[in-house]
Amino acid sequence: MEIARRTDIGHVRDLNEDSTGLLQTKTGSVVAVLADGMGGHRAGDVASQRAVKEVTEYLQKKQLDVSTDQKRDHVLRAVGKANEVVFKLASQDDSLKGMGTTILAAIVDKKEVVLAHVGDSRAYMLHKNKLYPLTKDHTYVNVLKDHGQITEEEARVHPQRNMLIRAVGTNKVVEVDLIDTMWGKNDIMLMCSDGLTSMVSEKEIEHTLKDITLSIDEKADQLIRMALDAGGKDNVSIILIKHTNSVTIKIY
């Protein structure tokens, strides 16, 4: 596997409330976590950092060379632990009240990707030069779109497009989407905060990821640059993981 991880504060925000984490296990699995925090001053920063910490620490203690169902259970429990901790912190400290975060937590090995998802950060898979979404946004606007009340174009510019209907840490219990998919040589998984997808179209992302002249490292830099050139109105974070059919894991 080849992995590239990037984050940028963007052109508008005073604070980067995104957090990412990577963990490599002895059995050759990789744990990748991405979170986009929300809340009052610094609260979003606290929420995302703590969620990433709790998920990585929980999964670090688990045997990940296991069945798909066991991996699904591991990531579900890891996100549940993160939700419990972030909710407790917000309940005990008035300055952190109302904070929460999105979460993407993936267990990745040569065979498959097992992913837990809450919020509007997204995961995609580039397979045979076509980009496929792995996640579905947990937003009010997405509910409207699913019910045919607004179009895709209207959703992109809707004033409430960032209103989450699910987040880690805002309630005692969180509903988590679990996704698993097989993957193979030259497939690329992208995990990203909405600082990328709100600035760069899926077609542009697909074009960058399938560009054979760019290394995985250069693709990561290019995606960040595109988000910034389009306005950089939010923090932008990405994790790219390429399947190389090798036991060696390179992190850039």
**Selection from 106, 101, 64, 69 nearest residue 190 by Cα:** 106
Is 198 buried (19+), middle (13-18) or exposed (0-12) by CB count in 10 A? middle
Tokens of 13: 């925000």
Please, are residues 119 and 138 in contact by the beta-carbon 8 Å criterion?
yes
Query: In this predicted structure, what is the pLDDT of residue 159?
Result: 76
Tell me the average confidence (pLDDT) per consecutive run of 10 residues in the chain, 252 residues long.
97 95 92 93 91 97 96 98 97 93 97 97 98 94 83 77 89 97 98 96 97 97 98 97 90 86
Query: In this predicted structure, what is the pLDDT of residue 247?
Result: 74
Query: In this predicted structure, what is the pLDDT of residue 195?
Result: 96
Strands 2-8 and 250-251, by their bridges, are parallel
**Selection from 7, 19, 82 nearest residue 51 by Cα:** 82
Is 129 buried (19+), middle (13-18) or exposed (0-12) by CB count in 10 A? exposed
Which residue segments constitute the domains of the chain, with CATH numbers given? 2-251 (3.60.40.10)
Longest dimension (CA), the chain: 51
**At how many degrees (to 10) do helices 43-60 and 68-92 cross?**
140
| Phi-psi group of 179: left, alpha or beta (phi > 0 → left; psi -120 to 50 → alpha; rest → beta) | beta
Neighbours of 67 (CB within 10 A): 8
Quote the distance between the C-alpha of residue 59 and its chain's center.
16
Query: In this predicted structure, what is the pLDDT of residue 72?
Result: 98
Q: Distance between CA 240 and CA 191 in Å, rounded?
A: 7
Which residues contact residue 205 at a Cβ distance below 8 angstroms, ignoring those fewer than 6 apart?
124, 131, 190, 196, 197, 223
Query: In this predicted structure, what is the pLDDT of residue 170?
Result: 94
Query: In this predicted structure, what is the pLDDT of residue 114?
Result: 98
Q: Distance between CA 223 and CA 207 in Å, rounded?
A: 10
Q: What are phi and psi of 230, to 5 degrees?
A: -80, -5
Query: In this predicted structure, what is the pLDDT of residue 41?
Result: 67
* Total-model pTM: 0.94
Please, are residues 100 and 43 in contact by the beta-carbon 8 Å criterion?
no
Q: Report the first-to-last Cα separation within the chain, whole angstroms.
A: 11
